[in-house]
Amino acid sequence: MPHHTFVKFIWPSALAMLVFIALPIISITIQSFYIEHEQVLVTAENCGPFGCKKVTTVDVEATRALSEQKPLGKFNGFGTYTNRNHLAFSQIGEAWNAAPNLGYFISEVLNLPFYKALSFTLTYTFVVTPCVIILGFCIALCVNRLPSIFKGPTIFLSLLPMIITPLIGSLVLFWMIDAEGIIGSFLKIIFDDPNLSLKASPSLTWIMLIVYGIWHHAPFAFVVFYAGLQTVPKDTLESAMIDGASRWEQTRYVVVPYLMPLVVFVSLIQLMDNFRVFEPIVGFNAQASATSLSWLIYNDFRSGDGAMLFGSAAATSILTIIGISILLTPIIVRTWQSSKPAVR
């Protein structure tokens, strides 16, 4: 296809991606170097019958004029990146100097908002991704053994957790697991602790979110592996059987290696999706014990007094993008190397 025809076909799609995906990345890079204007304060002398008082008030007009004139705010360099809410270099330094032992230092660092969010995001990503792959693979193996009339309904039910809106899915589970919900009250009876509440315990909250993540993503891995199982060459399996391979050995040495490219694909998609974990934290109302990088950005726009912290959100966004690039580079390089010959 000649270049000009190619351009004619692709420009609407390319333009959409440039304007709404590439430009915003530039936009957050710029925004992250700016910080909101401070409010313009005026000091006025207020004289009454009991003498004069100096009163400092916010000059709303002047503040608004300033932010209209320079909506980006004022230049802050890397100030936002290094402040307490982001990389918090000085706080880490202080904690390092003050810490009697490593455990104390780590707990101090994990109390800083960015590191708290990062630790949950990474834990979630690296627990959910392998669990999803293993669970999905097991379900696929079991469904593959079913008689074909049962396959359809089984796949239908299995797809439900995946296609459900993440916020709605987490709410549905939350209402059951909540202290007043069915599972929550059962747990109270089992552990014989009337005050047991998943919300109040950070570690239970983490487990709950991770269970939700596995529940939500396992069907995706299941469907991909199930489709892959249909294409496993029958004669390879049969020759393995003739050679005396047990059922387990057939799975281990024939099926798993054959599905390896699909495992890479599923992990790539899962790493992308799990690193952006966000809706379950809103749905489970879990921000007291678990926050994620995406949630931090959301929170910067939802902070109490209606002011939106563009600079702070942008800096977290940049750090998030750096994080996801570090995470995905090995897999993308691998995909690129293996798919090279496929492209003319």
Token output for 220: 């995706």
In 3D, which of 278, 326, 231, 243 has the Cα closest to residue 124? 278
**Minimum CB–partner distance for residue 162 and other proteins (Å):** 9
Name which of residues 287 to 326 contact other proteins (CB under 8 A): 293-294, 297-298, 300-301, 308, 310, 313-314, 316-318, 320-321, 324-325
- Name the one residue in this structure whose structure tokens are 């879990």: 286
**The one among 28, 35, 118, 208 contacting other proteins by CB under 8 A:** 28
Q: Kindly state the tokens that stand for 175.
A: 């209402």
The residues with which 43 forms a beta bridge, in sequence order, are 56
How many C-beta neighbours within 10 Å does residue 16 have? 10
Q: Considering only residues 247, 326, 330, 341, which one is a binding residue for other proteins as defined by CB under 8 A?
A: 247
Contact 3, 11 (CB under 8 A): no
Q: Which of 19, 58, 98, 200 binds other proteins (CB under 8 A)?
A: 19
Segment lying near other proteins (by CB under 8 A), choices 75-83, 110-118, 249-257, 275-283 = 275-283
Shortest reach from residue 7's CB to other proteins, in Å: 8
The only residue of 5, 43, 56, 97 in contact with other proteins, by rule CB under 8 A: 5
Angle in degrees, CA 265, 274, 336, rounded to 5: 30
Q: Which stretch binds other proteins (CB under 8 A): 85-93, 123-131, 136-144, 232-240?
A: 136-144
Judged by CB under 8 A, the stretch of 23-31, 42-50, 80-88, 124-132 that binds other proteins is 23-31
Q: Which of residues 48-67 bind other proteins (CB under 8 A)?
A: none
The reply to whether 96 sits near other proteins by the rule CB under 8 A is no
- Return the range that interacts with other proteins (CB under 8 A); candidates 84-92, 94-102, 163-171, 197-205: 163-171
3-state secondary structure of 221: helix
CB neighbours of 50 closer than 8 A, spacing ≥ 6? none
Which residues 71-90 are close enough to bind other proteins by CB under 8 A?
Answer: 71-72
Using CB under 8 A as the binding rule, the residues of this chain from 210 to 239 that contact other proteins are 215, 219-220, 223-224, 226-228
Q: Please give the helix or strand (H or E) that residue 98 lies within, else none.
A: helix 89-98
Provide the minimum distance between the beta carbon of 285 and other proteins in the complex, in angstroms, as a whole number. 8
The b-or-e profile of 262-283 (16+ CB within 10 A means b, else e) is: bbebbbbbbbebbbebbbbbbb
